[in-house]
Amino acid sequence: MSRLGPWNPVTVEERLDRMESLASIRQLPHRYGVALDSRDMDRLVELFVPDVRVGADASGREALKVWFTHTMSQMRTSVHFIGNHVVDFDDADHARGIVYCRDELEYPRTGGWEIGVLQYWDSYVRVDGDWCFARRKFHRWYIVDALARPAHGAGVNVGTDALTTHQLPEAYESWGRFWAGIDASAAGATAAGDGAG
């Protein structure tokens, strides 16, 4: 597997297409952030596949527009700063990615200004020649008042996020394996140290 995922194009045309696809996919999160922060709901929903799933019972861009309009009206100013972005191609028309984001949200009703750090775990698909989000899964480290010091899980799933989030870094399957190995190594070192006397 290459560093661009399991799909390895063979021909020059396929390789060039993958390069252009990568550039297009990397634009999606940035355009998403700008559309959210400018409250351009029409541009925002165009970034998603036409039959995008919205919650458990709805689908389509119009339903997504209704959802985003309600969600983004709960705050005034928002700032989404997009950072690291890795992309893995499954084939010529399907890819997955992880996008880092630092967000700031203003709540004038409460006088709050919250700052958080999150990731989107994305699925992308090419539809009629354009790359779109098929799905965005929301993961968060924390979201706290701008004057508070962040702590593990602070503010996650306590009513401030519009989406139910998955706690980072525990959402990574590798996280648990890493710490289980460290704990086992520490236990072994302690046992070896106890026997050295």
**CATH number of the CATH domain containing 105:** 3.10.450.50
Closest CA to 79 of 29, 38, 25, 26: 38
Number of domains within the chain: 1
pLDDT at 55: 85
Contact partners, residue 97, CB within 8 Å, separation at least 6: 25, 85, 86, 87, 88, 120, 121, 122, 124
pLDDT at 189: 62
For 10-29, write each residue's pLDDT tens digit. 899 999 999 999 999 999 99
Instruction: Confirm whether 187 is domain-assigned.
Output: no
Instruction: Confirm whether 197 is domain-assigned.
Output: no
pLDDT at 5: 85
Q: Does residue 197 surpass a pLDDT of 90?
A: no
Instruction: Confirm whether 193 is domain-assigned.
Output: no
Domain around 139:
12-164
Instruction: Confirm whether 117 is domain-assigned.
Output: yes
Instruction: Confirm whether 104 is domain-assigned.
Output: yes
Higher pLDDT, 172 or 183: 172
Question: Average pLDDT for residues 67-77, to the nearest whole number?
Answer: 93
Instruction: Confirm whether 84 is domain-assigned.
Output: yes
Q: What is the pTM of this model?
A: 0.86
Instruction: Confirm whether 195 is domain-assigned.
Output: no
Instruction: Confirm whether 19 is domain-assigned.
Output: yes
